[in-house]
Amino acid sequence: MRRMKAAAVAATMAGALTLAACSGSSSGNASEEPDTSGGDAPNELTFMFRGGEYDKLAYEQAIASFEEETGASVTMIITDADQYATKLQAAIAGNKVPDVFYIEPGRMQGYVYANVLADLTSYVEQDVLDNIWDFGVEAYRFDKETGQARTGPLYGLPKDVGPFGFGYNTVMFEKMGIEAPDPDVPLTFDEFVDIAKQLTTDTDGDGELDQWGTGLNVQWNSQAFVWGAGGDWISEDQKTVTVDDPAFAEALQWFADLQLVEQVTPSVEPAQTLDTYQRWMAGEIGFFPVAPWDIATYNAVAEENPDTFGYDVIPYPVANAGDETATWLGSLGIAVAETSKNKDLAAQLAVYLSTDLEAQKILAENKVQIPNIKDYAFGEWIETDAPAAGWPANTEEFLQIADEYGRALPGTWTYAPEWYDEFWVGIDQVLTGQMTAADYAAQVQPNMQSKLDLAWSNAEQAKAQG
């Protein structure tokens, strides 16, 4: 009966995927789906993950070493990043769960309630955990009883942590004769606007602005400013939407006013697209986000255009002097299937992939991520390996974000992020000045709250049903 149900679910999922992919059926690049089932023989494992060529390279080497050490035979299944979550869910529903696979913290709860993920607590030594970023470990803890994330048994280990840093164009600052921001002390909002105003100028004298202070995508940058002003999207217990808090509205309005009032960004509409990313690399924007996955690209641009582009990392601005800077920190984890026939070996592989020094070196050297292992990151890497590989001067800021002040994006610790997505639906009305941030926040809060309540009720349901 269980088999029948699994077959039915798999067929339904396949139908849903086909339905979703139908409009793309003429693309002519359909390929055979790999078998994601876990290994049968005592030494066989499957590892399903997503990523670019460097992830593959790093893990191929790590897995080769693991196979040599343990005699295991690991089959790697790599998928496109945008299809990974859907394929994993289909594999789970079809009872073809890989032994080891990537998992996002934000999607973990449903999997834990459905008993898909193995509890790894007893498989990982405490000293190993102590040497990984706390955020990266906590992100994969979940307490089924209370429904609280970041506490309880461990259901995964971090593949990486991704600090979303802030940066500035060093060449532009030098040319304009503006003092470089302090790498350790965050600018205040007022200082930030002052500098941004100085940077916003017509450099070629044709009567049109061609250089701007900043240009930030609201969906990825407003968190740092809202948090830096003491606001948040959700309460600490993850049960109340707090966007109607005055501090929140004030910070969001300040963010919108960078264009509406201060006019230090190119324009409202381009700021919502990736346009400012291009302008930043073209040397037309002063302040812009810098994250580890951008480093390789930024370095190439800096090398090609040293007269217009150079960059370094600084902390995100804060509302008032002395406030704590903030930004978000992402993570991707490695989990083990509860149904794996070789759970011990699979757990061993998960630990190996998360903490293997050679794999971490390859990923860091190729500027895919900062290392996972704290003593390496704060020691050899920051002192010699990172500078040698071309990481920016203040790379240490990334480590501080990972170690001290990085927070998860809102929605990560709730059962589903629908309530958080709701916030962005009409955000353009604030950015274009059609609504004030306070009015918008007051209008959207009840909808967000009802979706958050639904997420909690669905979590309860998932807990009850298993």
Residues that bind another protein (CB under 8 A): 8-9, 11-16, 19-24, 26-29, 82, 85-86, 89, 92-93, 110-111, 113-116, 219, 266, 269-270, 272-275, 278-279, 415-418, 421, 424-426, 428-429, 455, 458, 461-462, 465-466
d(CA 453, CA 248): 21
Minimum Å gap between C-beta 456 and another protein is 13
Q: Which is nearer to another protein, 153 or 426 (CB)?
A: 426
Minimum Å gap between C-beta 59 and another protein is 24
d(CA 111, CA 159): 18
Report long-range pairs for 21-28 (Cβ below 8 Å, ≥24 apart).
none
Minimum Å gap between C-beta 134 and another protein is 27
d(CA 294, CA 280): 12
Q: Which is nearer to another protein, 11 or 41 (CB)?
A: 11
Q: Which is nearer to another protein, 274 or 357 (CB)?
A: 274
Q: Which is nearer to another protein, 18 or 73 (CB)?
A: 18
Q: Which is nearer to another protein, 251 or 271 (CB)?
A: 271
Crossing angle of the two packed helices 343-355 and 53-70, in degrees rounded to 10: 130
d(CA 185, CA 166): 13
Minimum Å gap between C-beta 408 and another protein is 17
Minimum Å gap between C-beta 148 and another protein is 18
- H or E element that contains 371: none
Contact between 319 and 229 (Cβ < 8 Å): yes
Residue 90 token pair:
């289909």
Q: Which is nearer to another protein, 12 or 146 (CB)?
A: 12
Q: 15 exposed, middle or buried (CB, 10 Å; 0-12, 13-18, 19+)? A: exposed
Contact between 35 and 25 (Cβ < 8 Å): no
Q: Which is nearer to another protein, 316 or 420 (CB)?
A: 420
Q: Which is nearer to another protein, 351 or 430 (CB)?
A: 430
d(CA 167, CA 234): 27
3 state DSSP class of 102: strand
Q: Which is nearer to another protein, 8 or 64 (CB)?
A: 8
Q: Which is nearer to another protein, 210 or 323 (CB)?
A: 210
Minimum Å gap between C-beta 188 and another protein is 30
Backbone angles phi, psi at 167, to 5 degrees: -150, 175
Minimum Å gap between C-beta 116 and another protein is 7
d(CA 158, CA 103): 9
Minimum Å gap between C-beta 209 and another protein is 13
DSSP class of residue 180 equals P
Contact between 370 and 399 (Cβ < 8 Å): yes
Minimum Å gap between C-beta 126 and another protein is 31
Residue 236 token pair:
């600490």
Residue 390 token pair:
């071309």
Minimum Å gap between C-beta 14 and another protein is 8
Between CA 168 and CA 131, with CA 362 as vertex, the angle to 5 degrees is 85
Residue 422 token pair:
């709701």
Minimum Å gap between C-beta 5 and another protein is 9
State the residue for tokens 């240009």: 215
d(CA 83, CA 89): 10
DSSP class of residue 212 equals E
Q: Which is nearer to another protein, 268 or 296 (CB)?
A: 268
